[in-house]
Structure 1
């Protein structure tokens, strides 16, 4: 199931990693190094991806280099949403890519999350897809479009200040190509033209009822690459392994990047999923366990996929 593993999601974004607890990212650096070692020990063939930067910040990347983190990852990742949240225009994508490549010229750079909301108009989302494809698909080795489904309003978005963020918050619910009622937006049909080259990024909540439909829609589109998440916090729920197994089985036809993230409340320095852990090795152990279970080094690629849920 797994061919690459991302070590946390947007660790330089305060909605996902609490800067009050770890203001210089030294705990994150220790966490990432431990996780990188654990993933490599479980299966050296798995590509280790540094948590996607959002915002795109070469100074943060230099800090990671100073801490030695880059010695334990194989790929650098960035996230960008210039038509929704970033304070730069979409045509600056080449410049943003170049400034990161200048810091780490010896590692591949992937855009592991890029998207456009239909909050203002669905036609804007179509334009955003077309322009993003034009700017990125011939410039980086991989890019992943976010996302397949709109986020259901009842679930809430993972942000720091929620509704107090105004329209920035509500855009989270309109990033998909499939509306909450299950009907496709115009972007869904347009994506078919890019599906062989664009990956898709889709989060799944615990016991997500959309899982099987997502797999069917990905096959329909012809998408071969998927990025999703595996929550350390969820691993403490009852029947967590059953959910992870179902997820692995449903997603086994795809080249899957799993993003390991989310601190369990009872293991954080603060009881919140964005908190650094009291013992970072616990996160590394979870990463190693997941790779051993779903991408064991003893199996070839085809065997690993056929026996993912064991």
Structure 2
């Protein structure tokens, strides 16, 4: 079920990794190496993916190369939102992929989040789906559209400065192909012909009420590949494994890329989910536990036979 394990999410984005705690990303690299080794030991068939970088920055990849992390990975992933947050044109997508390919020519490249919101108009998202499909299908082997659902208005978006970011913050609530109530937007029908090639990225919050309905939509659309997350911070909630089991059982029909991220506050150098952990081996142990539980090597061997 889990074809790939993603180590963190947007490590070069201040909203997901605190550069004040780890200004040269050496702590991230150390944690990533330990996690990659633990994942490989648990199941060598699971691809190890660098959490999608945002912004798309070749110099960041070269920095991680210098720390030795890239040699422990199978896939380098990137994120892009050129019609919402990035300062580049949507037609530059192929060139952005080639920028990263130039510094890691021997690694597989994925676009693990790409999206266009309906903040301004649903027609903008509709265009964005169609143009993204034209530009990226065939360019990289895995693409994950972000996302199926709008983020509910009563929840918070995972950003550093919240409402102080102005309209950039509020765009986070309009990225779904379905609105908060489950109503399809124009972009949904534009996505449907490309569902198998594009795939979907959908975060499921702890005990997310949308899980079963989301699975129904994924099947109805013909999605075969899904990216989601298993939160290290959530592992310490009461009933965490029950929720993880329910989530992963529901997602069994799909090829899943599982993203492991979010530092538990009590384990961080600073008490925040973006902080480097005090003991990076604890994150590696979490990654190994999740692979052993949801993608054990024995099951993969049986399936291959």
Shorter-chain TM range is over 0.9
Find the aligned partners of 1:234 and 1:303 in 2 and give their Cα distance: 30
Question: Which residue number in structure 1 is paired with residue 238 of structure 2?
Answer: 238
Q: Give 1:1-310 correspondences, 5 Å limit.
A: 1-300=1-300
* Matched residue SS, 2:79: strand
For structure 1, which segment, 43-52 or 187-196, has the greater mean C-alpha deviation from structure 2 after superposition? 187-196
What TM-score, normalized to structure 1? 0.97
- Structure 1 gaps of 5+ residues are 305-310
SS at match of 1:298: helix
- Residue aligning to 1:307: none
TM-score by length of 2: 0.98
- Partner secondary structure for residue 214 of structure 2: helix
Single out whichever of 60-69 and 182-191 deviates more from structure 2. 182-191
SS at match of 2:226: strand
Structure 2, unpaired ranges of 5+ = none
| Deviation per residue, 1:163-194 (Å, 9 max, x gap) | 00000000000000011121110111221110
Report the CA distance between 1:300 and its aligned residue.
2.7
Distance 1:77 1:139 in 2: 13
Cα offset, 1:301, TM superposition? 7.2
SS in 1 for 2:196: coil
Which runs of 4 or more aligned residues in structure 1 lie more than 4 Å from their structure 2 counterparts after TM superposition?
A: 301-304
Whole-Å Cα distance in 2 between the matches of residues 122 and 209 of structure 1? 25
Provide the C-alpha distance between the structure 1 equivalents of 2:91 and 2:257, rounded to a whole number of angstroms: 27
Deviation at 1:303, TM superposition (A): 5.4
> Which residue is 1:308 aligned to?
none
Could you say if the C-alpha distance between residues 254 and 302 of structure 1 is closer, same or farther in structure 2, counting changes exceeding 3 Å? farther
RMSD: 1.1
